[in-house]
Amino acid sequence: MAAETKIDDEIEKLRQEIQELRRNCAAKEKRLSELEAQQQKQNEQANAQQQQTSASSDQMLNNDDIARYSRQLILPNFGVKGQLKLKQTAFLIVGMGGLGCPSSQYLLAAGCGRLGLVDYDEVERSNFHRQTLHTEMSIGMAKVESAKQALQQINPHCQIECHRLLLNSENALEILRQYDVVLDCTDNVATRYLLNDACVMLNKPLISGSALQMDGQLTVYNYGENCPCYRCLYPVPPPPDTVTNCGDGGVLGAITGVIGSLQALEAIKVALGGLGGEVLAGRLLIFDGGRCQFRNIRLRSKRADCDVCSPKPMITQLIDYEQFCGMHASDKDMALNILPLENRLTVEEYKNEVLQRKHILMDVRQPAEFEICRLPNSENVPLKTILNDSYLQRFEEELKDEERGIILLCRRGNDSQLAAQHILQRFPQRAVFDIKGGLHAWHFKIDNSFPIY
Amino acid sequence: MTGDLKIVLEFSAGAELLFDNIKKREITLPSTEKWTIRNLLKWMKENILRERPELFIQGDTVRPGILVLINDTDWELLGELDYELQQKDNILFISTLHGG
Ligand SMILES: [Zn+2]
């Protein structure tokens, strides 16, 4: 016991000391960059006086630039001109998640002049597998700040601006106006429409990437004469129940890595006028990671009757996008409330009153999720097999016993309601309940050693 | 009268989940009628669509959020529902992704 306490104490002490050192280090880095900026300014002034020219740091390359960017400077279509152009371009990355991390990293490393980061969220452990700028030490920190810290280590010569907020119709135009190229690295439909409309109104190119599970998609909107906008392709938002986010559907980090890196590539090409190739405008790249297959699709031209980009647009100022889409502008799940209260059990009620009685506990999550963690007495009955009634056959014997309660369980208490509702329609007389808050509630209220994901 | 119409159907980015999770299949349509995307959709609904139909079809067309590509070209450029299917056509249905 004594030895354990000693180790605990030492671990705690070390953690605090490291944190203190990091704070010191951050303060020193800040001071250093201030002094460096001051020095550079003085040098430039001296140079300017000497040479009687007005060349500023974004109109010429210094020795650090030349060494740092040499491998791209020697690219035939890039050159000094390209490097200077990049230095004069401001990029805005909306969403510092799986797509925003790699795209910001490559843009910054390549030497973009100014980089804006937008995200309202904080770093959590489930981000790490794909959001590669954030580290263990930044848990709980604002994603934009955590990303800025990491990015400054990669290239201290670029200006990074943090916008810690949820982009909406009120603030979007004001922020986007300060940048030349916008990258859509978001995770929800409402913000995608918002960014599209704002970019059309301000005439900014929009590099749009998305990813889910093993698939990715990429295109450039609002670049060139005939290029369709997001609304030209999708005039009507998808029904909310057809939209899956990464939190529910999962995604492999290497998939967002591929798409995010390609977003950086297209953003650089847009800034440099194509880089001797062809920007992905009017085309859609689809990436099937399962088969490692890329496909390039030719897209339609602008819609003559597009609500936002046609000559006579219906939408001339930003609207309420959450209302328009019937969905929230975040991938955080919203609690569903479709089941009558009398059919809902709290985790405590389940544990104290139902557990001892005759019942079937159906866990309606996907098999892959069930494999991660489960309650010992539960059966895995994926929601799909309830909605298509194939559970009837599987539980034929159990269902004959009308005394037996049917309890539905899922991760957070949404799918369990859908399942309970479906079963109640067939067996209105039976005791059918769902467990409020699902396994998350189990973790927080009953057993905090039960994992959450 | 020419022979039966052979085409390839492909599904991507989750659209395959509505069709037995099969990403690519060759199908043969009888030469009894003129085949357009419009009646292909009807045929798909009756023969191979396995999940709730509203997740794929709304009215006589695909639901919002699904893109239809004919030989790697947006169907909008080729007449959408009225496009007349040709031998060996490749029809790809992709659901739009929103995650990041
Ligand atoms: Zn448009």
Domains present along chain B, CATH in parentheses: 5-95 (3.10.20.30)
Give me ligand 1 centre to Cα A197, in Å: 9
Phi-psi region of A420 (alpha: psi -120 to 50; beta: other; left: phi over 0): alpha
Closest CA to A162 of A94, A110, A87: A94
Residue A310 is encoded by which pair of tokens?
């046609």
At B61-89, the pLDDT tens digits run 999 999 999 999 999 999 999 999 999 99
Contact by Cβ (8 Å): A169, A59: no
Distance from CA of B72 to the nearest CA of A (A): 5
Asked if the model's pLDDT at residue A52 lies above 60, the reply is no
Contact by Cβ (8 Å): B37, B83: yes
Q: Which helix (H) or strand (E) holds A64?
A: helix A63-68
Q: Do A298 and B55 touch (CB under 8 A)?
A: no
Closest in B23, B54, B97 to A217, CB measured: B97
Top-level CATH class of A341-446? alpha beta
Q: What is A60-325's CATH number, 3.40.50.300, 2.40.270.10, 3.40.50.720, 3.40.50.360?
A: 3.40.50.720
Residue A185 bears catalytic tag: no
* B55 in contact with chain A, both atoms CB, cutoff 8 A: yes
Q: Output the pLDDT for position A50.
A: 59
Q: Output the pLDDT for position A56.
A: 54
Asked if the model's pLDDT at residue A53 lies above 50, the reply is no
Residue A289 is encoded by which pair of tokens?
């990671």
Q: Do A188 and B98 touch (CB under 8 A)?
A: yes
Closest in B14, B51, B100 to A244, CB measured: B14
Beta bridge partners of A119: none
Give me ligand 1 centre to Cα A308, in Å: 6
CA distance A263 to A102: 9
Beta bridge partners of A122: A142
Question: Would you say the C-alpha torsion A162, A165, A167, A171 has a positive or negative sign?
Answer: negative
CB neighbour list of residue A305: distance below 8 Å, 6 or more residues apart: none
* B69 in contact with chain A, both atoms CB, cutoff 8 A: yes
Report the residue of chain B nearest A330, measured CA to CA.
B99
Task: Say whether pTM exceeds 0.80.
Answer: yes
CA distance A313 to A190: 19
Q: Output the pLDDT for position A54.
A: 41
Domain boundaries, chain A: 60-325, 341-446
Give me ligand 1 centre to Cα A408, in Å: 44
Contact by Cβ (8 Å): B69, A284: no
Concatenating the DSSP letter of every residue in A2-48 gives HHHHHHHHHHHHHHHHHHHHHHHHHHHHHHHHHHHHHHHHHHHHHHH
Mutual angle of helices A253-271 and A79-87, in 10-degree steps: 100
Report the residue of chain B nearest A102, measured CA to CA.
B100
Asked if the model's pLDDT at residue A110 lies above 80, the reply is yes
Residue B64 is encoded by which pair of tokens?
């919002």
Q: Considering only CB atoms, which chain B residues are within 8 Å of A328?
A: none
CA distance A242 to A283: 24
At A202-229, the pLDDT tens digits run 999 999 999 999 999 999 999 998 999 9
CA distances from B42 to A293, B67, B75 (A): 29, 17, 17
A136-150, A235-249, A302-316, A383-397: lowest mean pLDDT where? A235-249
Give me ligand 1 centre to Cα A68, in Å: 40
* Active-site annotation holder among A112, A162, A246, A325: A246
Q: Do A212 and B98 touch (CB under 8 A)?
A: yes
Distance from CA of A441 to the nearest CA of B (A): 26
Asked if the model's pLDDT at residue A161 lies above 90, the reply is yes
Asked if the model's pLDDT at residue A367 lies above 90, the reply is yes
Provide the residue count of chain B.
100
Closest in B12, B63, B100 to A215, CB measured: B12
At B48-59, the pLDDT tens digits run 998 889 999 999
Q: Do A245 and B54 touch (CB under 8 A)?
A: no
